Structure 1
């Protein structure tokens, strides 16, 4: 189960970041981040992360964590990513309410990183209800991400 979730998460990240790279190279998304930043973010996540008892995310690769970009990544993921289901729901609601304008690069990055965090939480929960709740949050975040990338939702909740 754990390996299956890790593979699924890697595929989701690859699909999201691959689309972002194509959008950036095609000029469809205004962005301040370069494609190398996206590639580094992907490398940081593939290198492995751990969540400590204070709910802070740490990179397992100490060399990457000591790089300036690694420290910036950790700052972004620890400071800007909601860590509870209720705060993630608020983020999704606010993003969906403002669907007339595309997400900024920072908003999109936070959305994708929130998916990563919720997938990890779904994996580590011992209680079945909590696993399902975090899995439901992951689906909402993925649905919002798909809507941002292609203009329509993957699932319709109405």
Structure 2
């Protein structure tokens, strides 16, 4: 429940702060998001949360549960939610955009640590979803060594998200 509450707060904060414009040109953090999927141009650079109701829907997707199969494919557990149009965007973001391996997620954490300024809305959202994926994989892992690496990747993502959330305060020299 604590993880779900934290995710909701992170998503809500990002939605509210989405109008903050950055003065820096951004490198592409999630390059796979810029490939057309399933012959549908609307899924080029997909974003789930464009409005407050979509933030709440994303929270509902995560709180009702997801399943990870052996290949790392995420599916929503609730069949009713799975039938929603936004569920296809969730599927694309979770299965085609966010990284799935520990090494890819560690590289993402390293890349995020070098981003000057706040993350773009879509990068923030994808980082939160990557963190949720990593938390699920950590809880499913029986190997303590593998759990250690998953925790390391989660820590890097958490630090990047915390830095992003604290950016306006850190920029002025406040700690």
The TM-score normalised by the length of structure 1 is 0.82
Aligned residue pair count = 143
Match of 2:20 in 1: 28
Please report the TM-score for the alignment, with normalisation by the length of structure 2: 0.74
Q: Kindly indicate whether residue 68 of structure 2 is the aligned counterpart of residue 51 of structure 1.
A: yes
- 2:120 aligns with 104
Give runs of aligned pairs for residues 5-154 of structure 1, distance below 5 A.
7-24=1-18, 27-28=19-20, 33-100=50-117, 102-151=118-167, 152=170
Please list every run of 5 or more consecutive structure 1 residues that lacks an aligned counterpart in the other structure: 1-6, 153-158
Q: Describe the SS at the equivalent of 1:50.
A: strand
Structure ranking higher on relative contact order (CA contacts 8 Å, 6+ apart): 2
Per-residue deviation at 1:29? 5.7
Q: Distance in 1 between matches of 2:5 and 2:52?
A: 18
